[in-house]
Amino acid sequence: MDSSVNLWPLLGVAVVVAGFLLRANPVLVAVAACGVTGAAAAMPFVALLESLGNAFVKTRNLPLILLLPVAAIGLLERYGLRNRAQAVIAGVKSATAGRLLIVYLLARESTAAMGLTSLGGHPNMVRPLVAPMAEAAAETQYGALPECLRHRIRAMSAATDNVGLFFGEDIFVAFGAIVLMHTILQAEGIEVNPLHIALWGIPTAISAFIIHAWNLRRLDAQLRRELGARKDAAATVEQGAA
């Protein structure tokens, strides 16, 4: 390694890691990391404050952009969005939790591959719509759900969104990771078309879809095994009492 390269500014990364491990305030962690990095890079104090100020001015609208959709979804959920979603899926007799989540996985991965990464997400899609619909599908088949299985369905709903987004966006040619790989390879003298990098993400995305769809089928099997037996036992008791 070139001895002229100063690695001390990387201490800022250690500050970020330590701050999150200690569950400190994220804003304080970010400011502390900037201060440590600037000091390690021998930046003048005035220049460091100027950089922090410029970064704040450029991103001051970001919290508003992030919080407004969450507030809108919260209002919709308060006024019946969740209940309406459950009622709709309860009317589809062939729907199961696993089948519903497989359909969402396909939609999430397909839209992410086209760069539409904001069409899903935990706060604006999974919590108010996907998870309640999956729960309703299971309740339509088996009745009331134990809390452990209800939380498992919710966890699988969140995991489905994660898998669809993570592997779908790797196919989008303008995705940041693809641009980064292309830039690094180009700097090393390796000429690669970004489109070719994106196309090589397709086999991985297909494999991820198949594997997670299989996991969702196993979720249906688990529900059928645990809740189906309980339902059959309850029916037997009712017949005996009659």
177-231: per-residue pLDDT in tens?
777 788 888 887 888 888 888 888 899 999 999 999 999 999 999 998 888 766 6
Expressed in angstroms, the distance from the first to the final Cα of the chain is: 83
pTM of the model: 0.65
* pLDDT recorded at residue 1: 44
Average pLDDT rounded to a whole number, residues 169-178: 80
pLDDT averaged over the chain? 80
Q: How far apart are CA 112 and CA 131, in angstroms?
A: 20
pLDDT, tens only, 3-24:
566 677 778 888 888 887 887 7
Please give the residue that has the higher pLDDT: either 94 or 56: 94
Average pLDDT rounded to a whole number, residues 33-54: 81
* pLDDT recorded at residue 25: 76
